[in-house]
Amino acid sequence: MSFEIPNPHNACFKDFFKDPEFVKAFIKYHIPEEICSLLDLDTLQVDLSGFVSEEHREYYADVMVTVQLKGHTENVNIYILLEHKSTPEFLTRLQILNYEVQKWMDLKRKGQLQGYLPVIIPVVIYHGKGRWNFSRKFSDLFDLPSEVLRPFVPEFKHMIHDISSMEDDEFKTTAILEIFHLLFKYIHYPELETKLQEIYDLLETIPDQDKVKQYLQAIVQYVAVQGPISLERLGEYTRRLPGGDEAMQTAAQQIRQEAYNEFIQEQEKMLVEREKHAKLEATQENLIDAATEQYGPLPGTLHEKIKSIQSLENLRALNRKVLRTQSLEEFTELVNRAAQN
């Protein structure tokens, strides 16, 4: 079953990556060793808050990790941008570049730049249906007519952590990392029902019961709104765990709330559409009345043509022009043009 809520994939993704210990483990096992060896992971900080540009626009990179480099007497930070994708997106590279620029500008505004820009390592974590087949190089977005233009093209690439193409044996690192990968790999598929038992078995091996409850809640809500499992079957699996009843109740409440919110949004949308339609009809009638006052009863085809115009702006422009037209033919020509736009 599937319930539409805003970014259910992203919400669960952040439920895992807000935990610094989880992020530390992800970097340790899934970022190349030559990079990890440079990092002091004990200094790691996780930021999910995004940043605000000078134009007061908000940007929400999924996860921005700050970590210090080893062997430096002064605090030298490097940043790791973890960007989640549940579907392939051709312009992800452009989105990443925007996030990087916004991060650097944010550091500048806060007076935290010390000469050179800090390095930001972008990692796309993907778990959609099928492989990620887009290039990871930003320069491949350009079709250069001449190599003399190459120096003017930004050059960087992002890493890709393609969960959908990984084998399950590759997930066997820490219990919580294995849970994350199994959940996100199979969320699209009926096999999730079998994998959910593995996920819950792994969850029971985690000694920190507070974290178990937090992760259980995130898993249940994600599967309830996005997975191919009925709520009844999900409840059967979940209630055997401590806190399972509470997790199911919270998920059910969330689903009801989201369904109610969606209903309200649909009602508001319908109201806006009705108001727009009413304004459109009133403006069409005003134009017909004005033209009739000017030229007498209008031909049926012209009447229908005016009714076919769906742009309020065009109708209002015609209302302003009708008294300045010199003939019905001139007015008809203006109506025909407006109907084509």
Question: What mean pLDDT comes out for the span 151-173?
Answer: 95
Q: Is the pLDDT of residue 1 over 80?
A: no
Rounded distance between C-alpha atoms, residue 259 and residue 288, angstroms: 43
Question: What mean pLDDT comes out for the span 111-125?
Answer: 91
| Exposed/middle/buried for residue 73 (C-beta within 10 Å: 0-12, 13-18, 19+) | exposed
Question: What mean pLDDT comes out for the span 301-307?
Answer: 88
Name the nearest CA neighbour of 81 among 102, 66, 59, 94.
66
pLDDT digits (tens, 9 = 90+) for 66-97: 999 998 767 779 999 999 999 999 999 999 99
Rounded distance between C-alpha atoms, residue 181 and residue 168, angstroms: 8
pLDDT digits (tens, 9 = 90+) for 206-218: 999 889 999 999 9
Residue listed under structure tokens 């990871």: 136
Rounded distance between C-alpha atoms, residue 214 and residue 206, angstroms: 12
Q: Is the pLDDT of residue 149 over 90?
A: yes
Handedness of CA 195, 172, 129, 221 (dihedral sign): positive
In whole angstroms, how far apart are CA 80 and each of 58, 89, 105, 266, 292? 19, 20, 16, 39, 68
Handedness of CA 263, 264, 267, 272 (dihedral sign): negative
Pairing of strands 51-52, 58-59: antiparallel
pLDDT score at 244: 83
pLDDT score at 5: 43
In this structure, are residues 179 and 196 in contact, taking their beta carbons and an 8 Å threshold? no
pTM of the model: 0.72
pLDDT digits (tens, 9 = 90+) for 221-265: 899 888 898 888 898 889 888 888 888 887 777 666 665 566 566
pLDDT score at 262: 62
| Angle 175-181-185 from CA coordinates, rounded to 5° | 150
pLDDT score at 4: 38
pLDDT score at 171: 96
Report which listed range, 31-40, 236-245, 301-310, is most confident: 31-40
Q: Is 38 left (phi over 0), alpha (psi -120 to 50) or beta?
A: alpha
| Angle 64-70-71 from CA coordinates, rounded to 5° | 150
Structure tokens at 243: 């806190």
pLDDT score at 2: 37
Write the CB contacts of 77 (distance below 8 Å, at least 6 apart in sequence): 66, 67, 68, 69, 118
Mean pLDDT of all residues in the chain? 87
Indicate the range of 22-26, 98-102, 263-267, 286-290 predicted with least confidence. 263-267
pLDDT score at 163: 96
Q: Read off the pLDDT band of 18 (50, 70, 90).
A: very high
Percent of the chain topping pLDDT 70: 90
pLDDT score at 261: 60
Q: Is the pLDDT of residue 3 over 50?
A: no
Q: Is the pLDDT of residue 51 over 60?
A: no
137 compared with 284, residue with greater pLDDT: 137
Q: Is the pLDDT of residue 58 over 50?
A: no
Indicate the range of 17-26, 267-276, 296-305 predicted with least confidence. 267-276
